[in-house]
Amino acid sequence: MNQRALSVLLAGAAVASACTIPTEPLSSNISYPFRAQVQNASRPEVHNQYMNLFQAGGGDQHLFIGPVGVPTYDLTLVDGVINHVPHGVRAVVGGEFSEIDHTTKLFMTGRGDPRAIFQPTYACNPDTDELQIELRFVTWQNQPAGGWICVRHAFDGSHEFRYYPPGNELTDPNRECIKVTLVVIPTTELPPQSSGTTLSTSTIPATSSSTGTATSTPTTSPSAYTDLTALGFRFLGCAPEERWANDGAFRTLSGASQSTDTNTNEGCAAFCTARGFRYAGTEWSRECWCGDSVAATRYPATTLASLEKCNYKCTGDQGQYCGGDSWLTLYERCEVGEACENVVFT
């Protein structure tokens, strides 16, 4: 064993013998407001960061380590489930299953998805040795007990929260999901709200009050959508996948697809055209989907507000949005000889 490994081991041993763990069990309810801190002392990029909430479609809140999302100081625990009462949401597991590492999304919703159950447990802080309360992951739905919460790289330098099942040893070589401990940080005082942010609103990067490509905001947010009319594609809007439509279990665009680190809207349009498809849609930053038709129930709205759902930057171009979480940035190939114009959003 090398010296560094030994000293790490000794440091760990010293910590473990220090703080005194009370023997009485903790209730599965925490009624005081708290922040959820993430710890993994060997991963400085996530260690001691906090869980943020990020407004998503259908009233859901996604969970991120910043800079994405809104710092959240008023979480509570009800029967082992993390709640955010002001938004009427609680933490659930499910969706976006990854074939590569078998992880699943952890997010917050008011709907009936299977809840993530945690047990508050005393432990010693790895940095300070002080007593802390950790939220140990117990189970969800009818799954075997165990597993843990992990975080993996998402857009804009953020990390998203996921569930890693017990007995699993798979890792995604391109997007490792880092195992983390969730820690309860009681918030007796709410932070000052003079900075322009409030606790109850989201920080959706989409430029909802502007249209087309003529936007330039003080931040580096892309335009609400990317104009591809010069390339022969009209932008139709931000179209829902099954999760937001409740009309059956089918993909909005069911033809060819690919998932790449170089995804852009023009690249996707070219990919679909080369395969003979009329519609092309980008999603989840990295995905490109093609189809010959779009069901009426999946057709995008024409409001500016509807474009906010497609707020994930493309893996291949941070200056464009490539869909969102189960939302497609949707284009249609223009016919030869007809005017090629984007849908007008109001």
Ligand X SMILES: *[C@@H]1O[C@H](CO)[C@@H](O)[C@H](O)[C@H]1NC(C)=O
- Tokens of residue 39, six digits: 């710890």
Q: Can you tell me which of 136, 153, 179, 243 binds ligand X, judged by CB under 6 A? A: 179
- Give the bridge partners for 163, in sequence order: 104, 149
DSSP 3-state of 272: helix
| Separation of alpha carbons 65 and 338, rounded Å | 46
Q: What is the DSSP string of 274-317?
A: HTT-SEEEEETTTEEEEES---GGGPPP-STGGGGG--PEETTE
Taking CB under 6 A as the rule, does residue 125 contact ligand X? Answer: no
Taking CB under 6 A as the rule, does residue 127 contact ligand X? Answer: no
- Give the bridge partners for 76, in sequence order: 83
Q: Can you tell me which of 29, 128, 217, 297 binds ligand X, judged by CB under 6 A? A: 29
Pairing of strands 104-109, 116-124: unpaired
Q: Can you tell me which of 51, 117, 135, 178 binds ligand X, judged by CB under 6 A? A: 178
Taking CB under 6 A as the rule, does residue 259 contact ligand X? Answer: no
| Separation of alpha carbons 326 and 250, rounded Å | 12
Interface region with ligand X, contact rule CB under 6 A, candidates 7-15, 24-32, 49-57, 129-137: 24-32
- Pick between residue 132 and residue 320 the one whose CB is nearest to ligand X: 132
Q: Are 84 and 71 in contact (CB under 8 A)?
A: no
- Pick between residue 127 and residue 335 the one whose CB is nearest to ligand X: 127
Report, in Å, the least distance between residue 13 CB and ligand X.
Answer: 14
- Pick between residue 168 and residue 318 the one whose CB is nearest to ligand X: 168
- Pick between residue 27 and residue 262 the one whose CB is nearest to ligand X: 27
Interface region with ligand X, contact rule CB under 6 A, candidates 59-67, 177-185, 203-211, 225-233: 177-185
First and final CA of the chain: distance in angstroms?
A: 65
Of 231, 203, 243, 206, the residue nearest 109 (C-alpha):
243
Q: What is the dihedral of CA 155, 173, 251, 150, to 10 degrees?
A: -60
What is the b/e burial string over 67-97, where b = at least 16 CB atoms within 10 angstroms of the residue's CB?
ebbbebbbbbbeebbbbbeebebbbbbbeee
Taking CB under 6 A as the rule, does residue 141 contact ligand X? Answer: no
Report, in Å, the least distance between residue 252 CB and ligand X.
Answer: 34
Those residues whose C-beta lies under 8 Å from the C-beta of residue 135, and which sit 6 or more positions away, are 36, 77, 82, 118, 119, 120, 121, 182, 183, 184
Taking CB under 6 A as the rule, does residue 45 contact ligand X? Answer: no
Report, in Å, the least distance between residue 173 CB and ligand X.
Answer: 13
Interface region with ligand X, contact rule CB under 6 A, candidates 27-35, 139-147, 192-200, 299-307: 27-35
Taking CB under 6 A as the rule, does residue 40 contact ligand X? Answer: yes
Stretch 58-87: interaction string toward ligand X, x if CB under 6 A: --------------------xx--------
Taking CB under 6 A as the rule, does residue 42 contact ligand X? Answer: yes
> How many residues at the interface with ligand X, by CB under 6 A?
12
Report, in Å, the least distance between residue 118 CB and ligand X.
Answer: 13
| Separation of alpha carbons 79 and 217, rounded Å | 44
Q: Are 140 and 117 in contact (CB under 8 A)?
A: yes
Residues between 155 and 174 that touch ligand X (CB under 6 A): none
Taking CB under 6 A as the rule, does residue 48 contact ligand X? Answer: no
- Give the bridge partners for 139, in sequence order: 117
Taking CB under 6 A as the rule, does residue 28 contact ligand X? Answer: yes
Interface region with ligand X, contact rule CB under 6 A, candidates 7-15, 39-47, 199-207, 228-236: 39-47
Interface region with ligand X, contact rule CB under 6 A, candidates 15-23, 38-46, 64-72, 216-224: 38-46
- Pick between residue 29 and residue 297 the one whose CB is nearest to ligand X: 29
Q: Which residues bind ligand X (CB under 6 A)?
A: 27-29, 40-43, 78-79, 178-179, 181
